Amino acid sequence: MPEVREPRFKLGETAWCPGCGDFGILESLRAALDELELEPHRVLVVGGIGQAAKTPQYINANGFCGLHGRALPPAVAAKMVNPALTVIVNTGDGDSYGEGGNHFLHTIRRNVDIAHFVHDNQIYGLTKGQASPTTATGQVTHVQPSGSPSLPMNPLMLALAMGAGFVARGFSGDRDLLTHLMIEAIRFRGYALVDILQPCLSFNKINTFAWYKKRVYRLDETHDPSDLSGALSKAQEWGERIPLGILYRREKPLWSDHLPHLAGVPLVDRQPDPAVLQALLDDLT
């Protein structure tokens, strides 16, 4: 039995390095939930495993920290059966694009109404600095001493190509914009991806705060987020200039729009109907 029993839900103590970009993301998430005036019990924040994936521990809402790479499946399922919940996934780039890459593809296809915030530090933080799917080719790590030999993945291009309805990029160092992107993503009806550039002080010495700061710029009104080809070209911008903001936004039918039998009373509140089961049994005669 724990020695001291706290009388009230106390947020977990953060296990992040001082100065980590995760703090900025957490602050923006708190600000977004405040601004949306969502009651804590109606919010579910889901993570996998990793440094970023600890976010559910630190937020005043329901939290689900599952397995590495497996944040999306439980998140969509929770939303399917309990749609009154606002479901948000906060997890890492390795979790979302590496171990969980297959779920990423198919969660986009499914288009369940959840928001997916990827803390993209372009590195595996928790396991101490191996290449992630978004690590640049040639970047040296302990496990890639000759430099990462693979191409980095472009999650925004991939999401757009897969048909995602909301695709945005944020930066942990631009908190106002990030809060705004989170609010819009949560409000968006459908799957919404925000890939968030996040400096990892300890293990990514290339993509530092200064590195990002020098390159990022906010998309302005000249960018039309309803235009897919414009979004695709913005998604390819990387290197000297990196755009931040909503690259693409267009609503599409939800998974549940195709399943009218799930409309009305949420599954979590339904009661079994003996007549229906009896009819199935009668059919066996």
Partner 1 sequence: MDYNLLLGGAAGQGMETLTVQLEAVLKRVGFHVHTTHDYMSRIRGGHNFSQIRFGDLPLWAPSSDLTGVLALNPETVLIHQSRVCPGGFVLVDEGLGLTGPDLLALPLARMAKGLGEPQAIGSVALGVMLRLFGIGWEPLEAILNGLQGKKDLRSPNVEAVRAGFGLVEPRYDPPSPAGEALHMLNGSHAVALGALAADMRFYAAYPMTPSTAVMTYLAEHMVETGVVVEQAEDEIAAINMAIGASFAGVRAMTGTSGGGFCLMVEALGLSGILEVPLVVLNVQRPGPATGLPTRTEQADLRFAIHAGQGEFPRMVIALRDVADAYRQTQRAFDLADRYQIPVILLSDQYLADTRRTVPILPLRITRGPRFISDASGLEPFSYRRYVITEDGISPRIIPGQVPDQIQCVDSDEHDEWGHIVESSVQRVAMADKRSRKLAGIRGELEEPLFLGDPEAETLLLAWGSLAGPMREAVSLLVDQGLPVGALIFGDLWPLPTGELEKRLPRALHRIHVEQNGTGQLASLIREVTGVSMTGSVLKYDGRQLTPVEIVAGVRKAVTSHA
173 scored as a contact of ligand TPP (CB under 6 A)? no
> 51 vs 134, which CB is nearer to ligand SF4?
51
Tell me if 202 contacts ligand SF4 by CB under 6 A.
yes
- Measured from the CB of residue 100, what is the shortest distance to ligand SF4 in angstroms? 17
Q: Which range of residues in 13-21, 25-33, 180-188, 268-276 is near ligand SF4 by CB under 6 A? A: 13-21
- Nearer to Mg ion by Cβ, of 86 and 204: the residue is 204
Binds partner 1 by CB under 8 A, chosen from 24, 63, 92, 225: 63
Q: Which stretch binds partner 1 (CB under 8 A): 41-49, 115-123, 148-156, 194-202?
A: 41-49
Non-local (6+) Cβ contacts of 103 within 8 A are 69, 70, 71, 72, 73
Alpha-carbon distances of 238 from 136, 153, 206, 215, 244, rounded to whole Å: 11, 12, 14, 9, 11
Which does residue 94 bind out of ligand TPP, partner 1, ligand SF4, none, counting CB within 5 to 8 angstroms by kind?
Answer: ligand TPP
Residue 93, binding choice from Mg ion, partner 1, ligand SF4, none, Cβ under 5 to 8 Å by partner class: Mg ion
14-22, 33-41, 244-252, 265-273 -> range binding ligand SF4 (CB under 6 A): 14-22
Question: Looking at 29, 43, 49, 88, which residue binds ligand TPP (CB under 6 A)?
Answer: 49
Query: What does the H/E/C string look like for the chain?
Result: CCCCCCCCCCCCCCCCCCCCHHHHHHHHHHHHHHHCCCCHHHEEEEECCCCHHHHHHHCCCEEEECCCCCCHHHHHHHHHHCCCCEEEEEEEHHHHHHHCHHHHHHHHHHCCCCEEEEEECCCECCCCCECCCCCCCCCCCCCCCCCCCCCCCCHHHHHHHHCCCEEEEEECCCHHHHHHHHHHHHHCCCCEEEEEECCCCCCCCCCCHHHHHHHEEECCCCCCCCCHHHHHHHHCCCCCCEEEEEEEECCCCCHHHHCHHHCCCCHHHCCCCHHHHHHHHHCCC
Burial class (CB in 10 A: 0-12, 13-18, 19+), 174: buried
CB of 72 to partner 1, least distance (A): 8
Residue 230: closest CA among 243, 241, 240, 217: 243
Binding to ligand TPP (CB under 6 A) within 106-135 occurs at: 119, 121, 123-127, 132
Shortest spacing between CB 206 and ligand TPP, in angstroms: 14
Contacted by 127, from Mg ion, ligand TPP, partner 1, none: CB < 5 to 8 Å by type? ligand TPP
| Residues from 73 through 132 that contact ligand SF4 (CB under 6 A) | 121, 125
For position 121 contacting Mg ion by CB under 5 A, the verdict is: yes
Please say which residue, 74 or 230, places its beta carbon nearer to partner 1. Answer: 74
Contacts with ligand SF4, residue ranges (CB under 6 A): 16-17, 20, 22, 51, 121, 125, 200-203
Contacts with Mg ion, residue ranges (CB under 5 A): 92-94, 121, 125
Contacts with ligand TPP, residue ranges (CB under 6 A): 49-52, 68, 92-95, 119, 121, 123-127, 132
